[in-house]
Amino acid sequence: MIFVDQAIWPAHGRRFAHLISDTSYEELHEFAGRLGLPERAFHRDHYDIPDAWVGDAVAAGATAIDARELVRRLRASGLRRAKVRHRPADVDLPPPGP
């Protein structure tokens, strides 16, 4: 199933919502393609969609839910992908000197 939350996330001078699937990434990409979302709108496990597109997503069959429920369903589906936190590689640095 496809879900969309409220457009409450500010970016680029507007508000964005998240679009997810609790079934598969294939279902999500296919739905996003039908909406006309560009590939660059996909981030790890969801699409960011502008506030003006939320109604179109619901009209196309997405179920509107709140943000907490969206994250809960994404985690329960096993499709949640955590952010990758980059840390510096362990390297041998010379001791500080004068």
Residue 92, both tokens: 């041998």
The pLDDT-based confidence of 90 (bands split at 50, 70, 90) is low
- Mind listing the pLDDT tens digit for each residue in 35-77? 999 999 999 889 999 999 999 999 999 999 999 999 899 988 8
Across 18-35, average pLDDT: 96
| Confidence category of residue 81, pLDDT binned at 50, 70, 90 | confident
pLDDT of residue 88: 58
Residues counted in the chain: 98
Tokens of 44: 């790890």
Note whether 46 and 5 are within 8 A (CB): no
Higher pLDDT, 44 or 79: 44
Task: Give the per-residue pLDDT at 22.
Answer: 94
d(CA 1, CA 81) in angstroms, rounded, equals: 18
